[in-house]
């Protein structure tokens, strides 16, 4: 029986976003904002039983425990990013256990 380890990795680069707001005089202002880069990694261990018909898997997702990353922008309007803002990217670290049984011979 072969024990299998899978590692999944994803890097998300810094993302630029643009938004607009209207001031009290009716002027439209466009602002640039961003979401910082972040890394996510998952790890899975799988072990087959009964000639591969039964698979036992366990592991964890989001090893780095990312929940939110910095988000900000430029500009000085009432609704613009002035620092200290964040954007949600994941639920945080989670653990899992999976039992898979194959009923088919083929």
Q: Could you tell me the pTM of the whole model? A: 0.70
pLDDT at residue number 97: 97
Distance CA(83)–CA(104), nearest Å, equals 56
pLDDT at residue number 80: 47
pLDDT at residue number 83: 58
Is 80 exceeded by the pLDDT of residue 78?
Answer: no
Q: pLDDT tens digit string along 8-57?
A: 999 999 989 888 888 888 888 888 888 899 999 999 999 998 887 899 99
pLDDT at residue number 20: 85
State the Cα torsion 58-64-65-67 to the nearest 10°: -130
Distances (CA, A) of 23 to 17, 26, 100: 20, 5, 58
Distance CA(22)–CA(87), nearest Å, equals 23
């Amino acid at each position: 029986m072969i024990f299998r380890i899978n590692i999944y990795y994803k890097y998300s680069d810094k993302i630029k976003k643009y938004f607009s707001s209207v001031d009290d005089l009716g002027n439209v202002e466009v602002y640039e904002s961003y979401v910082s880069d972040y890394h996510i990694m998952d790890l899975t261990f799988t072990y087959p039983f009964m000639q591969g018909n039964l698979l036992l898997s366990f592991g964890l997702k989001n090893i780095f425990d990312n929940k939110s990353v910095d988000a900000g922008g430029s500009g000085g309007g009432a609704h613009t990013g002035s620092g200290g803002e964040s954007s949600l990217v994941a639920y945080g670290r989670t653990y899992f256990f999976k039992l898979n049984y194959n009923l088919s011979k083929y």
